[in-house]
Amino acid sequence: MTAADNSQILDTEALIIGGGLAALQACRTCSAAGIRTVLAAKGQLCSGSSFYPFTARLGCLAPRRDDPDDARLFLQEMNEAGQGMNNADLGRIYIEEIHDRIAELPGLGIEPRLMEQNRVACFARRERALYFWEDWDGTRRRVRDRLSAWPSVTLLEHWSALELLQSDGRVCGAIFAGQDNSLLAVRARAVILATGGFGDLYKHSLNTPDVCGDGHVLAYEAGASLCNLEFIQFIPGFMAPRYKVLFGEPILRWCTALLGTDGRDLLSGLLPAGMTAQQCFLERSRHGPFTTSDRSCFFDQAIMAEVLATGREDGVRICFSDKIEDKQDGSSWYVTWMKEQMKIDLIRDRLAIAPFAHASNGGVLITAEGRTGVPGLYAAGEVAGTLHGADRIGGCATGNCLVFGHRAALAAAGQIRQSDDRPLAERAIRDQVAAWTSGAKSGSLTPAEVIRGLQTTLWRQASILRSETLLQQARQTIDETKSAYSLAQALKTGPAAQAFRARNAIRLSGLLVKAMLARRESRGPHFRPDYPERNDAQFGSPVCLNRRTEADSS
């Protein structure tokens, strides 16, 4: 491996892996505690789902301060949305601490604003305070200015984490690859994973390419548990006229038709007796992600069924009434943003939509302090699981990053102050790198072929419509891909970051499908025609996978 000859070692106290909101929050907390910190981002600073470029703004939901009973009702709604798959203690902590964390955002360079009117978030039942921010370029400049003023922080951009370093069962750093294929080993007393979700494992996702599940694999290989992986939010996104633009569900109030590739009405004959298409559109307008928990589910099911039947991923067309342009309507800002910024005319353009992977409700199993069960390893943000369950109340993913990014950093700082661990020897790091190319098998697939193939497989066979047949087909494809790929060979012929990304895609895809096969019911963001009902008696608890107790099916 050519990169092995161009390697460096950097020592720090805390290593934070990620470039989004959870990573920034953890970095702020470590800096405030006087902890020497390295923040290593796979892409540029302010990346991932926290700063998705094709959406107008990001929101964070908080309990109402004018209603002392709202905290209790908020937690009740979080538990209802989670459907028994969430950790209620984490929800309680979120509600108690989110206002304090929002108040700290200006210190990060993020300028939140309170919406003039409270709103009912996705899967919530009552109006609450929603804080939002926008202007990604301006935010990135301000955040960079803040970080440069913190003397204890070293920022590394465009460094991909390949593997965690461990000694005597304790995580003590990580190995990274740079854009020039050089290697960097960062030795640390504590590591915080804030790497985001895994939406880019799907062919069509409302994520950037760095949201690909690397952190999940790093944690799993280190011995942490992954929980609720099968609960993935899918949101309609535009296939045309501009790809990957986020769909604003409130505009469905003005939807007039959902048409198939041949122009037929996709909802005709699909809806239950007594339900009209307009009623379906109205109910679907109340939340962005697909769910089986209400009668809006037929909207997304019809779209995906048409894709699977015809093979046309851009064949489903949606139409709107010209009333959508009414300036008095609460969603008029979205219509204006679409026209002026995204260059999409919702009345006159041909609009093709499909389900896009959006957010991972599951991830690394953590405690309230962000501990993973593996000494020295913490996790926060979308990479971590069980604050959310089957469905997730809108605006809580952002708050999750703020609350538990802060808590993970506090716990890591406490460990660092009490630790006198010696850094892992350079020889051990060199041996670990050398092991990557030992015992090489031949492989016929390149990393790019592995990634493209798995993205297509998961989107078609493991998205909102799942069945034993589709999932078994997906598992067979993953097994065949694993047999045809050689990490060692890929490392000899191409960039290390891409080689490991393909390896991680194989491993995490296998774990996703394993979790999906284990859940033989329909619950939250997926529908199984072969098991159409929710089954609490058999599947009333989360599916957790751990390398120490589970056979590695990836």
Domains in the chain, please, with CATH?
Answer: 2-232+369-427 (3.50.50.60), 236-358 (3.90.700), 438-546 (1.20.58.100)
- The reported pLDDT for the residue numbered 47 is 85
pTM > 0.85: yes
* Mean pLDDT lowest among 2-11, 66-75, 527-536, 543-552: 2-11
Residue 1, pLDDT > 80, answer no
Looking at the chain, the whole-number percentage of residues with pLDDT higher than 70 is 96
Looking at the chain, the whole-number percentage of residues with pLDDT higher than 90 is 80
Enumerate residues 6+ apart whose C-beta is below 8 A from 416.
Answer: 13, 14, 35, 189, 190
Residue 439, pLDDT > 90, answer no
Residue 365, pLDDT > 80, answer yes
* Mean pLDDT lowest among 278-287, 331-340, 369-378: 331-340
Higher pLDDT, 88 or 51: 88
Amino acid at 95: I
Average pLDDT, stretch 297-314?
Answer: 96
DSSP symbol at 165: E
SS3 109: coil
Range list of β-strands (E), 308-448: 317-320, 351-360, 363-365, 377-379, 384-385
Residue 552, pLDDT > 50, answer no
* Mean pLDDT lowest among 41-45, 198-202, 332-336: 332-336
Residue 541, pLDDT > 70, answer yes
Q: How far is the C-alpha of 226 from the C-alpha of 379, rounded, in Å?
A: 11
